Amino acid sequence: MPGPRGHSPRMDPRNLIAARIDLQLRLHLGTGVDSQRALTDAHYMRDVLFVCDAMKGTGLPLLARQFRVAGERLAQDALRRPGHDAGPPQDWAANTSGFGVSQSPRSPGKAKPVEAKAWFAPRRWLGL
């Protein structure tokens, strides 16, 4: 299953950190984690990271921090990919649902909305 940035989970830097967390938890608690599930199930990994944070005096809190930082970096890299930049906010964007302009754009000098065109009249739809 591809991860962020189109990489497979093997290339995801969090995979190595999750494997280290697994080994440390096996050493300290006698039970490990599913490293692949940690990369795909956010709730599962959140719980694992909470356990790591609680294991003071071990290397687990540091590994949990490293996992979170790696995830943030992957998210930032995904936003920087070409084709995913929405650009600066536009004034007309407040009048749209995301599926196209839902209200006619207004220029700053106009106070009332633009009049509907004759071709938009419902009577034309019905052939009246």
| For range 28-53, the mean pLDDT | 91
Separation of alpha carbons 37 and 92, rounded Å = 42
| For range 24-53, the mean pLDDT | 91
Tokens of 88: 């600066």
Q: Quote the DSSP letter at residue 98.
A: S
- What region, left, alpha or beta, does residue 3 occupy, with left being phi > 0 and alpha being psi -120 to 50 degrees? beta
Q: Report whether 74 contacts 5 (CB < 8 A).
A: yes
Model pLDDT for residues 72-98, shown as the tens digit of each residue: 998 888 777 766 555 556 555 555 555
